[in-house]
Amino acid sequence: MVDPQIGVLALQGDFAAHLSVLESCGYRRSPVRSCLDLDQVDALIIPGGESTTMLKMIDRYEMREALVKRIRNGMPVFGTCAGAIILADRVSDGEMALGTWDLQVERNAYGRQSESFEADIKVRGLDETVRGIFIRAPIIVDAGGAEVMATFADRPVLVRNNTMLAATFHPELLGEARIHRWFVENLCAGKE
């Protein structure tokens, strides 16, 4: 894909921060709020927010089937925090996520909102650490066959499987662009 159009699911959550990071990188980007919007993008970011609310919105706007089909057909996708939960096929509380990835996640595993924190994350392939924010963050209990690109406290926090990338933290809230660049340059461009 040359100069892909990157969509950001804009139903709930911190989608504006992702759009801002993509803009700072000079990438073509657009909010995705409908199946028509989804048809116009080459790749998708599913932001952090509240996974239950986001999934209800996906169903309200009748986007579930189209999202699952596009992701299973190889559309590059990057989920952060709640976005990682939405991609998973097994969620600790039984939430019916999209089930597009063999991941098992546990919601709110680091504690309540008041226990949120920032941490420096060493990401495979990047020279310097990435600062990430963990807000009611999930943990990846089982990454299946995914490549673990970063860990925190001996748990995977950034994983990759083919054209899918999932982070349990938020790089975008600090304007951190390196993971977004990696996603676009490696997964959206079809590089391995």
Question: Under DSSP, is residue 188 helix (H, G, I), strand (E, B) or coil?
Answer: helix
Is there a catalytic annotation at residue 25? no
Q: Is residue 172 among the annotated active site residues? A: yes
CB atoms within 10 A of CB 124: 12
* Catalytic position from the list 18, 106, 170, 176: 170
Average pLDDT, the chain: 92
Q: Which residue in 18, 81, 176, 188 is the catalytic one?
A: 81
Query: Mind listing the pLDDT tens digit for each residue in 45-59?
Result: 999 999 999 999 999
* Global confidence as pTM: 0.94
Protein fold of 5-188: Rossmann fold (3.40.50)
Q: What is the pLDDT of residues 140-178, one digit of tens each?
A: 999 888 999 999 989 999 999 999 999 999 999 998 999
Element of type H or E holding 103: strand 101-106
Least confident of 73-82, 107-116, 158-167: 107-116
For position 191, what pLDDT does the model report?
A: 45
Does residue 79 surpass a pLDDT of 90? yes
**Catalytic-residue membership of 35:** no
What was the pLDDT predicted at 92? Answer: 81
**pLDDT given for residue 55 in this prediction:** 94
> Kind and range of the H or E element at 56?
helix 51-60
Q: Distance between CA atoms of 8 and 43, rounded to whole angstroms?
A: 9
Residue type, 134: F
pLDDT for res 116 = 82
Domain ranges for the chain, please list them: 5-188
Tokens of 169: 């933290």
Residue carrying the six token digits 């959206």:
188
Band of pLDDT at residue 111, cut at 50, 70 and 90: low
Please determine, for residue 2, whether its predicted confidence score (pLDDT) is greater than 90.
Answer: no
Q: Which of 35, 50, 95, 172 is catalytic?
A: 172
Whether residue 192 is predicted with pLDDT greater than 70 in this model: the reply is no
Higher-pLDDT residue of 107 and 24 is 24
